[in-house]
């Protein structure tokens, strides 16, 4: 190491878990590796989206325009008042800004666990105390979550469908949970995967939002809308919450190509939703195939499936890796496999069969 030592960071930072991005897969026998570790869209982008983004790159000498145009398009599309929509460079960024604005030092942030791995990192880095509440049967336990809410709780994070288990909550359970939360506590309903779940959940969340001032419904363009690499997220919330987000936001993180890509995606929404349904059908095929091999897979409402293999997780991931497929392994807990194109899912089923046969040591 060169030079003198730097000062230490805040003590909370030293103990943060690190975010582990999904790894790429190595090519195998003349075909590319299959990356099923990051819940991305597997389809080639529609030409219209690529062209819209490419055209916006020509203006890259300028700072991006505000995200207003995209916010207005979203407001029109979902029938929301424009002042209740916020956009940013990814829903992760919105989440960080919400925690910065509402969950600083002294606050508790409650969430089911295991859930999206960014939750404890973002809560801790904003100085709040993360309060994880164990899942029951791979599902978020809303009763336990409600009991974990204390006078110090400022934010509850609820991923529905949950990542990595794929399980979803019934909309009436979510509504009952939301209505009993104290008004001093913000509920962030993170619906990153809602386009792969039950269609009613989408509209019901927005209806509930119009009733509850402490509810934030958060969505992303990274999954069904295929723009993970561009970073576009949005949320709808009470105008005061939107104003707080604007107060802490770093300007310009939503780039012009990202905004152009998202607007083009909204114009192609029918086609992108049709593609999501192709993945829903593939998810069913993959789940059935895994069940036939005797593996447990809880019903998924997202673009991935979860195998709670416990100590067998690393062996399963190794079998996938040997088959040229990268998956997301949580050692000792389970493996999350993104639903891909048919041939990708077939490779997973073959790797799973090899794992079950014991061809790969656990
Ligand atoms: C539950 C959940 N929320 C939020 C995100 C972040 O999405 P974005 O790409 O919009 O930052 C993810 C990404 O995987 C996720 O799984």
List, for residues 140-149, the tens digit of each pLDDT value: 999 999 999 9
Question: Is the beta carbon of 177 within 6 A of some atom in ligand 1?
Answer: no
Q: How far is the CA of 223 from the centre of ligand 1 (A)?
A: 8
The CB-side HSE value for 74 (13 A sphere, CA atoms) comes to 26
CA distance 237 to 21: 29
Under the phi-then-psi rule, with left for phi > 0, alpha for psi from -120 to 50, and beta for the rest, what region is 337? beta
CA distance 247 to 245: 5
In which band, very low, low, confident or very high, does the pLDDT at 31 lie, cut at 50, 70 and 90? confident
Q: How far is the CA of 21 from the centre of ligand 1 (A)?
A: 12
In which band, very low, low, confident or very high, does the pLDDT at 201 lie, cut at 50, 70 and 90? confident
Pocket of ligand 1, candidates 91, 161, 224, 254: which has the most ligand atoms within 8 Å of its Cβ, to mutate? 91
Mean predicted confidence (pLDDT) in 221-231: 98
Pocket of ligand 1, candidates 19, 67, 118, 162: which has the most ligand atoms within 8 Å of its Cβ, to mutate? 118
Q: Examine the pLDDT at 362 and tell me if it is beyond 60.
A: no
Please give the CATH number for the structural domain made up of 47-267. 3.40.640.10
Domain ranges, ordered by start, for the chain: 18-45+270-356, 47-267
- DSSP state for residue 14 in the 8-state scheme: H
Q: What is residue 26's predicted lDDT score, i.e. its pLDDT? A: 84
pLDDT tens track for 268-305: 999 999 999 999 999 999 999 999 999 999 999 999 99
CA distance 74 to 269: 12
The architecture of the domain spanning 18-45+270-356 is Alpha-Beta Complex (3.90)
Output the CA–CA distances (angstroms, integers) from residue 121 to 117, 127, 336, in the order listed: 7, 10, 20
Query: Which of 319, 315, 287 lies closest to 302, judged by CA?
Result: 287
- Exposure string of 71-82, with b = 16+ CB inside 10 Å and e = fewer, is bebbbeebebee
Mean predicted confidence (pLDDT) in 161-175: 97
With residue 346 as reference, give the H or E element that holds it.
Answer: helix 342-356
Burial of 65 (0-12, 13-18, 19+ CB in 10 A): middle
Q: What is residue 19's predicted lDDT score, i.e. its pLDDT? A: 85
Cβ atoms of 154 and 128 closer than 8 Å:
yes
Question: Is the beta carbon of 67 within 6 A of some atom in ligand 1?
Answer: no
């Amino acid at each position: 190491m060169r030079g003198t030592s730097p000062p230490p960071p805040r003590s909370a930072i030293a103990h943060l878990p690190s975010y582990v991005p999904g790894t790429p897969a190595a090519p195998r026998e003349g075909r590319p590796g299959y990356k099923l570790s990051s819940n991305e869209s597997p389809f080639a982008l529609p030409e219209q989206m690529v062209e819209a983004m490419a055209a916006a790159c020509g203006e890259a000498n300028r700072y991006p325009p505000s995200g207003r145009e995209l916010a207005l398009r979203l407001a029109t599309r979902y029938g929301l008042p424009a002042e209740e929509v916020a956009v940013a460079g990814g829903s992760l960024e919105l989440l960080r800004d919400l925690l910065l604005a509402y969950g600083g030092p002294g606050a508790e942030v409650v969430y089911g666990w295991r859930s999206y791995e960014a939750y404890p990192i973002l809560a801790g880095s904003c100085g709040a105390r993360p309060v994880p509440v164990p899942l029951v049967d791979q599902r978020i336990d809303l009763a336990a979550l409600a009991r974990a809410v204390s006078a110090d709780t400022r934010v509850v994070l609820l991923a529905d469908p949950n990542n990595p288990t794929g399980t979803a909550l019934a909309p009436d359970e979510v509504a009952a949970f939301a209505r009993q939360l104290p008004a001093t506590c913000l509920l962030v309903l993170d619906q990153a995967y809602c386009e792969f779940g039950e269609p009613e959940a989408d509209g019901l969340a927005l209806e509930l939002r119009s009733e509850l001032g402490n509810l934030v419904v958060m969505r992303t363009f990274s999954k069904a809308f295929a723009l993970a690499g561009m970073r576009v997220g949005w949320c709808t919330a009470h105008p005061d919450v939107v104003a707080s987000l604007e107060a802490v936001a770093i300007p310009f993180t939503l780039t012009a190509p990202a905004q152009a890509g998202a607007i083009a995606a909204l114009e192609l929404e029918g086609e992108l939703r049709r593609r999501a349904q192709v993945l829903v059908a593939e998810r069913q095929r993959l789940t059935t195939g895994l069940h036939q091999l005797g593996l447990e897979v809880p019903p998924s409402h997202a673009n991935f499936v979860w195998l709670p293999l416990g100590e067998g997780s690393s062996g399963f991931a190794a079998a996938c890796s040997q088959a040229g497929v990268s998956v997301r392994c949580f050692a000792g807990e389970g493996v999350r496999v993104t639903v891909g194109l048919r041939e990708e899912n077939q490779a997973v089923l073959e790797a799973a069969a090899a794992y079950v046969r014991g061809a790969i040591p656990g």
